[in-house]
Structure 1
């Protein structure tokens, strides 16, 4: 315990120093929101990766990998190919150029100025502000569960303590403090994950024996999972089964594609000074993703073999049925004692890097995109003060959500926000960068339509959310609108199809269709958007 406390204090001392450094270098609104547009490519890539990969990925999705197996490696592939390569090469460069030409500081402002629409900026900022606390709460829950198991401290204490620590440097230091601390935290994460993988294979006698052992344990997959379609932790899932739909529509597709429209990631493209920095960041970012979530998905699956070898139980049994505790329990009971202390720091790093970015983007969306003009008009506040107030509100909302969310929620809450962002923003964002024919009306209808369809599907069709929220039950006296369909039928299986699978295609169709029949944007505005962007 003493070692953990000492290393934790040292870690926080470095974090506070970097936060102080960011505060000292923050002189204006551009510094606060975009780090002065002059960030080193390594710092940008590590900040991007550390923001992308949080405790929701390591703790939450690591637990999901322990339940579903190696199928989650498809998500790791999409995270690298889509989330890093496609995002930085095909979206990052144009985002950076357009943000510079239009003098944008936030993702909603980029959309609003691209389409010359205050409604788009305000509506997009409102969606981000209202829903990113749910994602942030999932990340906060992940690190608090880790410290609960590792340090034996009450979960509620950790919620308040970690939130207070983050607040100190995010509110004062702005984007520079966030990115400096992200780069440091990302480096810690990589080192710990590499050791974790090597030691796991060592305990199982090597790479091949480890996978052979896990393959032979297919009969130990819980009966409920087998009925849902799981064939084994290495064998995959029966195509078309309910759990196949959960894995490939909610987890792989929803998160893997939704990353392209994550506002807290897109804004980082505007923090570098040239396209060359983005090209260099692709390599750093790809290696980072491979060495973090690629590893944790493998280790999560293999934890079943190690737990069964040591205790005669599989992972979900060792964690008392709570997916969010599988990785923490594995670290505490299987890994060397010294590693437990270091991994705790890595989880602090993963959580704090993502949370700081979430608080920052949520606060600036509220302050800069939704209510900035009203607040300034009434109170004559400075831009940094308005943004700081927005961040405070976001932090409070996150803390409330983290207090209320049920167990085993980390991965599901993350997938929800990724899917919602993809359906709402992705068509307007991508077409806005690449298609001159995309109109203001098309963007409005696409954003509102994608958001609406996603929410309706979640409330009335998708079983996980519909059952938890209970609105469909209250209005129609059944859990989902398709609950009465014949078991095994297409209608019945819709309960396991993620909202993004339906909402994103509809959003794309609305963007294209409405743009083709509506009046084009003013010629001079289009010319401004494309100046130096292609």
Structure 2
């Protein structure tokens, strides 16, 4: 226990020291939000990867989906690497950097305003971002606090509050530059930690072959064996839904695509693509592969669910590790979570300040903008802490994966299609963008009201099965639906002359 505390305190002091160092180097809004658009490929790639993978993945998703799909859950990590990292960088990286720099857009709402010539789209998208990043932040708190509660015997609420305070300190002090350097350090810890944990956990049951054999002996709900160690697992259809949400979703998440705004040049994008993909293979692939063996470490209820709930599976696996390795895991999860939290709060505060507050105060100075962003960082963290604590009282309904599914479904369902099409096609109309916003948020909210808050009793039975009840599947559907809605609505609606001029002006960046 002493070793755990020493490692934890040293790590936290390092993070705060980096924030204090960069406070003097953050002179304006561009520095605070995008690091002056001068970050190299390694920093940007690690910032992308560490924002992608947090305690939500390591504790929540790896545990829940490893339990549900067995070793086949590794496909989720592979999808994250190939679709969520490799293809995202290849398809979006250069064009995003080029057009956002040309438009001088610092946030996703600013991109929507300048690309589509619409202040309304800017305002609506800013509100969507602020509202739906909160449950994602709450899910990160839940994942982190579960492990801290297990390892330090600290109350859940105190874990959450302490996490929020430390995140606020280094983000408020140093902005994006501090976040990027911390992300790089945190990424190194994550790479080493995941590799060490996978090896150690497999050793508990006789190595890889012994663990696979033990998983194959566990029967599924129908009494069949050899299911949880198979390539496709017991439920390949729902597994595909998880792959889509967690992989394709990054293409429309503001805190993810904003990393492309900040990268230095096109050459850096090429290097960043390789680094980001390798990082995702190791971290995401390792996390989900590890979670696939969760049934060997926790007993099962009569209904087939883990006895302490899905969020307790990975912490239970960690109990079997040596103390020094457990301390490394704590820092690993803390690293993953703080990097994601810093990205989320910075995205939310900058969006509120630049896209909502600044237009109302046209004479706001650069220092004033940065000051308001720092205030909103604190406000955002306080709200998400309250939701995380409340959700603990609803353990059966608001597990980590549900909170993240709600957030990703609404954000990526609303933004993925109009953002991606807007980089490649001049013909996207304002009506199509607004239709995507309405559909993405609408599908998520309606699903949440029916299934999460129980507006329709026994909804899974009434509406045709458990597949519809999953926030993951609802989020995946919202994204795919948006990819259809935007081109269809664009073809049946028209842009006025000013909108066409704005599109032509935006696309000039690709011909220069």
Structure 2 length-normalised TM:
0.91
Relative to 1, partners in 2 of residues 1:479 and 1:375: Cα closer, same or farther, differing over 3 Å?
farther
Instruction: Give the drift of 1:291.
Output: 1.4
Q: Secondary structure in 2 aligned to 1:321?
A: coil
Q: What is residue 393 of structure 1 aligned with on the other side?
A: 379
Instruction: Structure 2: state its 5+ residue gaps.
Output: none
Q: What is residue 371 of structure 1 aligned with on the other side?
A: 357
Equivalent of residue 528 in structure 1, options 474, 488, 505: 505
User: Does the Cα contact within 8 Å between 2:74 and 2:285 map onto a contact in 1?
Assistant: yes
Instruction: Give the drift of 1:479.
Output: 3.8
Relative to 1, partners in 2 of residues 1:132 and 1:177: Cα closer, same or farther, differing over 3 Å?
same
Instruction: Give the drift of 1:415.
Output: 2.2
Q: What is residue 25 of structure 2 aligned with on the other side?
A: 25
Relative to 1, partners in 2 of residues 1:187 and 1:314: Cα closer, same or farther, differing over 3 Å?
farther
Q: What is residue 499 of structure 1 aligned with on the other side?
A: 474
Q: What is residue 295 of structure 1 aligned with on the other side?
A: 286
Instruction: Give the drift of 1:39.
Output: 0.6
Q: Secondary structure in 2 aligned to 1:520?
A: coil
Structure 1 residues 360-408: Cα deviation after superposition (integer angstroms, max 9, x where no partner) = 1111122221232225669997110121122222111111111111336
Structure 1 residues 303-360: Cα deviation after superposition (integer angstroms, max 9, x where no partner) = 433x37xxxx4699997422212212221x2111111111111111011000011111
Q: Secondary structure in 2 aligned to 1:108?
A: helix
Alignment coverage as a number of residue pairs:
502
Structure 1 residues 129-157: Cα deviation after superposition (integer angstroms, max 9, x where no partner) = 01101000100111111111011111111
Within a 5 Å distance, the mapping from 1:54-133 to structure 2 comes to 54-68=54-68, 69-133=70-134
Structure 1 residues 435-484: Cα deviation after superposition (integer angstroms, max 9, x where no partner) = 11112222222222332233223433xxxxx2x313x23xxxx343x743
Equivalent of residue 441 in structure 2, options 451, 470, 475: 451
Distance 2:50 2:128 in 1: 23
User: Does the Cα contact within 8 Å between 2:7 and 2:327 map onto a contact in 1?
Assistant: yes
Instruction: Give the drift of 1:501.
Output: 4.5
Instruction: Give the drift of 1:67.
Output: 1.1
User: Do residues 346 (structure 1) and 332 (structure 2) align?
Assistant: yes
Structure 1 residues 157-184: Cα deviation after superposition (integer angstroms, max 9, x where no partner) = 1111111111111122111111111111
Distance 1:454 1:162 in 2: 28
Q: What is residue 144 of structure 1 aligned with on the other side?
A: 145
Relative to 1, partners in 2 of residues 1:380 and 1:531: Cα closer, same or farther, differing over 3 Å?
closer
User: Does the Cα contact within 8 Å between 1:194 and 1:291 map onto a contact in 2?
Assistant: yes
User: Does the Cα contact within 8 Å between 1:427 and 1:446 map onto a contact in 2?
Assistant: yes
Equivalent of residue 259 in structure 2, options 268, 271, 280: 268
Distance 2:467 2:405 in 1: 19
Equivalent of residue 295 in structure 2, options 286, 304, 326: 304
Q: What is residue 228 of structure 2 aligned with on the other side?
A: 233
Distance 1:262 1:413 in 2: 15
Distance 2:164 2:205 in 1: 38
Equivalent of residue 412 in structure 2, options 405, 410, 422: 422
Relative to 1, partners in 2 of residues 1:362 and 1:230: Cα closer, same or farther, differing over 3 Å?
farther
Relative to 1, partners in 2 of residues 1:34 and 1:130: Cα closer, same or farther, differing over 3 Å?
same
Relative to 1, partners in 2 of residues 1:528 and 1:351: Cα closer, same or farther, differing over 3 Å?
same
Q: Secondary structure in 2 aligned to 1:368?
A: helix
Relative to 1, partners in 2 of residues 1:319 and 1:459: Cα closer, same or farther, differing over 3 Å?
closer
User: Does the Cα contact within 8 Å between 1:54 and 1:139 map onto a contact in 2?
Assistant: yes
Relative to 1, partners in 2 of residues 1:514 and 1:56: Cα closer, same or farther, differing over 3 Å?
same
Q: Secondary structure in 2 aligned to 1:510?
A: helix
Relative to 1, partners in 2 of residues 1:491 and 1:187: Cα closer, same or farther, differing over 3 Å?
closer
Q: Secondary structure in 1 aligned to 2:293?
A: helix
Q: What is residue 282 of structure 1 aligned with on the other side?
A: 273
Equivalent of residue 518 in structure 1, options 493, 499, 510: 493
User: Does the Cα contact within 8 Å between 1:315 and 1:326 map onto a contact in 2?
Assistant: no
CA RMSD of aligned residues (A): 2.6
